[in-house]
């Protein structure tokens, strides 16, 4: 556990209303004589009504954790209570209470959209009339009405994803798991999906636990972010708190040459920009106030600043501070469809 | 992770406090029968929506009836009606064999998309997931069997109606079991389509030929007759021939019924075990 993360331990006990608690949750896979520790002693807790994003690169163990919590995979060790039911002793109780939207498209391809919702209602023991009413409600709220009589295979990616969410919500679960809900969607469909997720939480108070490798998704959507890497949870707090405690604002000062940049570094600290040695990068808790102070300081020292920018920290800065790697680059390397890295200031 | 004692957020969301979860229905318990019915209805719906899909798997049996039948008449030197009387019951078994053998491919596809996973997270009994799917085989089988008989009647095939009905029941029992075996194969192959189709193709034609449904095995070599003796399909073919001729008392009827029940029992037991291990 990195030292920086200790600042995140000062949490108040939430007491009752825990929707998920897990202690020492571990999953080891054996394949070809090798043991792979996919999830290593993960502790987590999610209170009722929270929207938590589980962030990490592909292969970090997010989905495996989710699959254990949803009873799809038995845990190697550790324990967890989900929606009040123990995942080992009462998996059926967990299944009755949760909604789950997996990574794949969950509607049968040859099925019609409305039929699939009706089938899902029956799977959760809803009566015929109740199922029909609920299906109509979800078709309406997720903007699937015009496609109700179409086959699932004729839907677009975004429409399929909305159907997946509708299927996950048919029984009004108190807790909804979303595994990579927006992966593979175009930006417009992603934004639309986020709106639906936010709206769902606002109107029903459903607890939502989602995995994502999109930094902006975790940042904008979730009120709490858990960062996972190599099977461990390495940070857990609000996005704002994580960025403040770990990353800080990035101030970039440009100079006429490398010599001025080194002289400025001697006064202010900071690191030279790897892309341009005539630039100095500083990390400050409050960049807007620190920047004029630095400018005054450098002016007194007779060092001329050519350019000066500051930007708020991103969750990628948090990941970088915790692991020394960039999540954005990891996703790109893994063939992810992450947006190209924004040009540094 | 030991340093994080209680990872609850330090700040509550300020903009939108979640609404209380009032009005949320209590989770409902369902039983095996209800779950099976729910799975059966879901699996049957595409057939109801698109009844012509039932005809698709009839193409091959009808080709055998139309193209192999006349050759059989010529080779045997008998009359058309008499040959059909011998040949059509075999085609009915072929319908059951080919119709249900590839049904696992649907599950295979749903395992690769995410629909199967969705049903695994739903509070459905694992047994119902398999049994509901296997029972679905019955409906198309009844329709297909009836069509084959109706096609053959104008050519002189005479059918004993109670015998046909009983024959279809025997086929249905077999179809449930063989469909369950096909689902088991799909569950075992997971994302290896090629393996499913390889096993499917490797088994299907020997099973068909060694059942005596196309040509009589009485004139075949000893080893073929031994192989037919352990092939449940040969008992099924014998039973269908007797039943469609109205010979209810023939020993072959009992043999076929036993073969169908044994196939059904083995298929369901093996299939349910595979479904319980499914991830």
Is A174 part of the contact surface with chain B (CB cutoff 8 Å)?
yes
| Reported confidence tier of residue A245, pLDDT bands at 50, 70, 90 | confident
Residue tagged 């989900």 (tokens): A82
pLDDT tens, residue by residue, B78-97: 788 888 899 999 999 999 99
Region of A28 (left: φ > 0; alpha: ψ -120 to 50; beta: rest) is: beta
Tell me the average pLDDT of chain B.
Answer: 86
pLDDT tens, residue by residue, B166-224: 999 999 999 999 999 999 999 999 888 899 999 999 999 999 999 988 888 888 888 99
Residue A213: name the closest of A41, A333, A99, A46 by CA: A333
Is A43 part of the contact surface with chain B (CB cutoff 8 Å)?
yes
**pLDDT at B56 (0 to 100):** 80
Residue B91 neighbours by CB distance under 10 Å: 26
Give percent above pLDDT 70 in chain B: 92
Q: Nearest residue of A to residue B276 by CA position?
A: A72
**Which of A4, A83, A108 is the best mutation test for B, with the most CBs of B within 10 A?**
A108
pLDDT tens, residue by residue, A290-338: 889 999 998 898 888 999 988 888 888 888 878 877 777 766 665 444 3
B7:A236 CB<8 A: yes
Residue A112: its chain B contacts at CB < 8 A?
45, 49
What's the gap in Å between the CA of A105 and the closest CA on chain B? 5
Alpha-carbon distances of B129 from B115, B184, B207, rounded to whole Å:
12, 12, 27
Is the ipTM higher than 0.85? The answer is no
B66, with CB counted inside 10 A (0-12, 13-18, 19+), is exposed
**Which of A41, A104, A243 is the best mutation test for B, with the most CBs of B within 10 A?**
A104
**Which of B26, B48, B122 is the best mutation test for A, with the most CBs of A within 10 A?**
B122
Given A9, A14, A106, which is nearest B3 (Cβ)? Answer: A9
Strands A305-311 and A207-212 turn out to be unpaired
Given A12, A44, A124, which is nearest B122 (Cβ)? Answer: A124
Strands A249-255 and A271-273 turn out to be unpaired
| Reported confidence tier of residue A2, pLDDT bands at 50, 70, 90 | very low
Residue B39: its chain A contacts at CB < 8 A?
123
Residue B240 neighbours by CB distance under 10 Å: 29
**pLDDT at A166 (0 to 100):** 93
pLDDT tens, residue by residue, A90-111: 999 999 999 999 988 999 999 9
Q: Which residue has the higher pLDDT, A268 or B12?
A: A268
**pLDDT at A339 (0 to 100):** 35
Is B38 part of the contact surface with chain A (CB cutoff 8 Å)?
yes
Q: What is the mean pLDDT of residues B255-269?
A: 95
Tell me the average pLDDT of chain A.
Answer: 85
pLDDT tens, residue by residue, B139-179: 889 999 999 999 999 888 888 999 999 999 999 999 999 99
**Which of B120, B121, B191 is the best mutation test for A, with the most CBs of A within 10 A?**
B121
Given A73, A97, A236, which is nearest B4 (Cβ)? Answer: A236
- The helix/strand/coil state of B178 is helix
pTM (predicted TM-score) = 0.82
Which stretch of A57-66, A107-116, A199-208, A237-246 has the lowest confidence by average pLDDT? A237-246
Is B29 part of the contact surface with chain A (CB cutoff 8 Å)?
yes
Contacts of A51 (CB under 8 A, 6+ apart): A197, A201, A207, A208, A210, A221, A222, A223, A224, B13
Query: CA neighbours within 13 Å on the CB side: how many for B76?
Result: 19
Q: Is the pLDDT of residue B226 over 80?
A: yes
Q: Is the pLDDT of residue B40 over 50?
A: yes
Q: Is the pLDDT of residue A187 over 90?
A: no
What's the gap in Å between the CA of B194 and the closest CA on chain A? 20
Contact B237, B231 (CB under 8 A): no
**pLDDT at A325 (0 to 100):** 76
Contacts of A319 (CB under 8 A, 6+ apart): A55, A215, A227, A229, A325, A326, A327
**pLDDT at B148 (0 to 100):** 92
Q: Is the pLDDT of residue A188 over 90?
A: no
Is B193 part of the contact surface with chain A (CB cutoff 8 Å)?
no
A205:B20 CB<8 A: yes
pLDDT tens, residue by residue, A131-169: 999 999 999 988 899 999 999 999 998 899 999 999 999
- The helix/strand/coil state of A283 is strand
What's the gap in Å between the CA of A52 and the closest CA on chain B? 10
Is A237 part of the contact surface with chain B (CB cutoff 8 Å)?
yes
Residue A47: its chain B contacts at CB < 8 A?
8-9
**pLDDT at A266 (0 to 100):** 87
Q: Is the pLDDT of residue A341 over 50?
A: no
What's the gap in Å between the CA of A311 and the closest CA on chain B? 23
Please provide the size of chain B in residues.
279
Is A115 part of the contact surface with chain B (CB cutoff 8 Å)?
yes
Is B35 part of the contact surface with chain A (CB cutoff 8 Å)?
yes
């Amino acid at each position: 556990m990195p030292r920086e993360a200790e600042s995140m331990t000062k949490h108040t006990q939430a007491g009752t209303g825990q929707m998920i608690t897990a202690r020492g949750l571990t999953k080891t896979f054996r394949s070809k004589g090798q043991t792979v520790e996919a999830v290593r002693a993960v502790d987590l807790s999610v209170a009722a009504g929270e929207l938590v994003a589980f962030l990490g690169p592909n292969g970090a163990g997010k989905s495996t954790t989710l699959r254990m919590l949803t009873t799809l995979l038995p845990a190697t060790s550790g324990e967890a209570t989900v929606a009040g039911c123990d995942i080992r002793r009462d998996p059926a109780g967990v299944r009755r209470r949760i909604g789950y939207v997996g990574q794949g498209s969950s509607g049968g391809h040859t099925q019609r959209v409305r039929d699939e919702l009706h089938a899902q209602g029956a799977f959760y023991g809803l009566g015929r009339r109740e199922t029909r009413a609920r299906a109509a409600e979800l078709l309406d709220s997720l903007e699937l009405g015009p496609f109700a009589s179409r086959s699932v295979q004729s839907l677009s990616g975004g429409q399929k994803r909305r159907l997946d969410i509708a299927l996950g919500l048919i029984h009004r679960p108190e807790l909804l798991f979303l595994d990579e809900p927006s992966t593979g969607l175009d930006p417009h469909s992603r934004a639309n999906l986020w709106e639906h997720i936010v709206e769902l939480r606002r109107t029903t108070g459903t607890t939502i636990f989602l995995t994502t490798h999109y930094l902006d998704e975790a940042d904008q959507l979730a009120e709490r972010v858990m960062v996972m890497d190599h099977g461990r949870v390495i940070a857990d707090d609000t996005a704002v708190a994580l960025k403040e405690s770990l990353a800080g604002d990035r101030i970039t000062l440009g100079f006429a040459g490398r010599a001025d940049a080194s002289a400025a570094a001697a006064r202010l600290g900071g690191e030279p920009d790897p892309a341009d040695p005539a630039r100095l990068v500083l990390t400050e808790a409050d960049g807007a106030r620190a920047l004029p102070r630095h400018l005054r300081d450098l002016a007194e020292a007779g060092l001329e600043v050519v350019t000066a920018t500051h930007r708020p920290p991103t969750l990628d800065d948090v990941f970088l501070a915790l692991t020394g790697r960039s999540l954005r680059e990891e996703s790109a390397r893994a063939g992810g469809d992450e947006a190209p890295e924004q040009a540094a200031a | 992770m030991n340093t994080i004692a209680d990872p609850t957020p330090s700040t509550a969301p300020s903009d939108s406090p979640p609404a209380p979860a009032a009005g949320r229905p209590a989770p409902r318990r369902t039983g095996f029968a209800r779950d099976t019915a729910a799975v059966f209805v879901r699996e049957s719906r595409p057939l109801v929506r698109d009844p012509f899909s039932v005809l698709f798997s009839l193409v091959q049996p009808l080709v055998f009836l139309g193209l192999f039948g006349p050759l059989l008449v010529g080779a045997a030197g008998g009359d058309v009606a008499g040959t059909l009387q011998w040949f059509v019951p075999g085609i009915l078994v072929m319908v059951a064999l080919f119709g249900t053998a590839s049904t696992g491919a649907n599950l295979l596809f749903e395992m690769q998309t995410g629909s199967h996973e969705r049903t695994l997270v739903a509070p459905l009994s694992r047994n119902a997931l398999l049994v509901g799917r296997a029972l679905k085989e019955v409906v198309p089988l009844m329709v297909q069997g009836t069509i084959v008989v109706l096609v053959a009647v104008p050519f002189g095939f005479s059918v004993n109606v109670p015998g046909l009905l009983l024959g279809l029941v025997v086929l249905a029992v077999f179809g449930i079991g063989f469909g369950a075996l096909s689902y088991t194969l799909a569950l075992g192959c997971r994302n290896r389509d090629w393996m499913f189709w390889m096993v499917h193709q490797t088994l299907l034609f020997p099973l068909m030929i060694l059942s005596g449904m196309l040509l009589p095995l009485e004139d075949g070599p000893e080893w073929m007759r031994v192989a037919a003796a352990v092939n449940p399909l040969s008992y099924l073919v014998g039973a269908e021939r007797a039943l469609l001729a109205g010979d209810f008392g023939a020993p072959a009827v009992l043999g076929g019924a036993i073969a169908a029940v044994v196939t059904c029992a083995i298929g369901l037991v093996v299939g349910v075990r595979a479904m319980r291990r499914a991830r």
